[in-house]
């Protein structure tokens, strides 16, 4: 289901062009993952599940420089749009999702099986172990910031692999997960093409009445500034099974499955 290397690069590059922003901002919607209150406060709504992700910034000292840059970028974005348009995520939760697993209603349904979470951890552990020889290679797995990506209910920074090896090694891990028939039996299947991105925030209720043409121009201007400032790279050195209760915190126990690239 995932793209070849060149198809991926071409596809995401188109998502960061000015004409894409002009089109995408016309379709944004307020995210149901946050409840906003008068005065600008926002509270995350319960949205539980599991994903395989890179360690969040709070647990990833190896990418300190990248995440500090990303935090500054997020602050510029929030400051330049109208109040209430974007609900920013806490910076210490920044991460790259390597494989979506299960969430929300599907998770609640699966939890009716009392052995579900134990079996999930066992099968993810097997998939990661099987993929270990396939993710090894010379050099680091590096992904670089390409530009802002606008989704229907969220906004983030899109990433492209620094080289084909960095892309293929991540894909090999994803295939080991999504081709695991025992995981499929738990209700876990691939639902999206891989579009590597780090979410900066979700669209709030202010986005409904926002000046979308101006928003598209702000995003394009920020994107150009980022391109001129030089390439920012994320070192994908580890994949971990993490649980979340909402979109602001991702946690794990020490014995849960993980993979070193």
Q: Domain of 140: which CATH number?
A: 3.90.1140.10
The pTM score is: 0.96
Using the 8-state DSSP alphabet, how is residue 144 labeled? E
Count CB atoms within 10 A of the CB of residue 92.
15
Tokens of 164: 């084909």
DSSP line for 122-155: HHHHHHHHHHHHHH--SS--EEEEEEEEE-SSEE
* Domain of 107, in residue numbers: 5-260
Q: Evaluate if residue 230 carries a pLDDT over 80.
A: no
Q: pLDDT tier at 220 (50, 70, 90 boundaries)?
A: very high
Tell me the C-alpha distance between 237 and 210, whole Å: 39
Q: Evaluate if residue 87 carries a pLDDT over 90.
A: yes
Tell me the C-alpha distance between 197 and 155, whole Å: 9
Check residue 74 and give its pLDDT. 96
Q: Evaluate if residue 40 carries a pLDDT over 80.
A: no
- Counting beta carbons within 10 angstroms of the beta carbon of residue 99, is it exposed (0 to 12), middle (13 to 18) or buried (19 or more)? buried
Using the 8-state DSSP alphabet, how is residue 56 labeled? P
Mean pLDDT, range 3-20, rounded to an integer? 95
**Total number of domains constituting the chain:** 1
Query: Mean pLDDT, the chain, as a whole number?
Result: 95
Q: Evaluate if residue 227 carries a pLDDT over 80.
A: no
Tokens of 196: 């590597």
Mean pLDDT, range 142-155, rounded to an integer? 96
Tell me the C-alpha distance between 32 and 186, whole Å: 26
Check residue 231 and give its pLDDT. 85
Q: Evaluate if residue 229 carries a pLDDT over 90.
A: no
Q: pLDDT tier at 118 (50, 70, 90 boundaries)?
A: very high
């Amino acid at each position: 289901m995932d793209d070849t290397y060149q198809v991926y690069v071409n596809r995401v590059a188109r998502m960061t062009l000015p004409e894409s922003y002009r089109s995408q901002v016309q379709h944004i919607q307020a995210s149901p993952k946050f409840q906003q209150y008068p005065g600008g406060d926002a509270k995350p709504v319960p949205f539980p599940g599991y994903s395989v992700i890179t360690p969040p910034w709070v647990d990833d000292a190896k990418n300190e420089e990248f995440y500090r840059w990303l935090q500054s970028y997020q602050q510029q974005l929030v400051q330049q749009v109208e109040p209430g348009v974007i609900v920013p995520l806490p910076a210490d939760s920044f991460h790259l999702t390597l494989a979506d697993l299960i969430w929300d209603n599907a998770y609640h349904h699966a939890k009716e099986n009392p052995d579900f979470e134990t079996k999930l951890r066992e099968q993810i552990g097997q998939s990661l172990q099987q993929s270990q020889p396939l993710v090894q290679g010379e050099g680091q797995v590096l992904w670089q910031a390409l530009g802002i990506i606008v989704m229907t209910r969220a906004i983030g920074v899109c990433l492209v692999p620094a080289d084909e090896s960095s892309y293929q090694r991540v894909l090999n891990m994803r295939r080991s997960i999504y081709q695991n028939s025992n995981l499929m039996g738990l209700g876990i299947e691939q639902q999206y093409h891989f579009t590597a991105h780090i979410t900066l925030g979700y669209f709030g209720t202010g986005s409904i009445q926002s000046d979308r043409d101006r928003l598209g121009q702000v995003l394009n201007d920020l994107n150009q500034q980022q391109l001129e400032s030089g390439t920012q790279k994320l070192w994908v050195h580890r994949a971990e099974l993490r649980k979340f209760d909402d979109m602001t915190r991702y946690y794990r126990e020490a014995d849960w499955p993980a993979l070193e690239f």
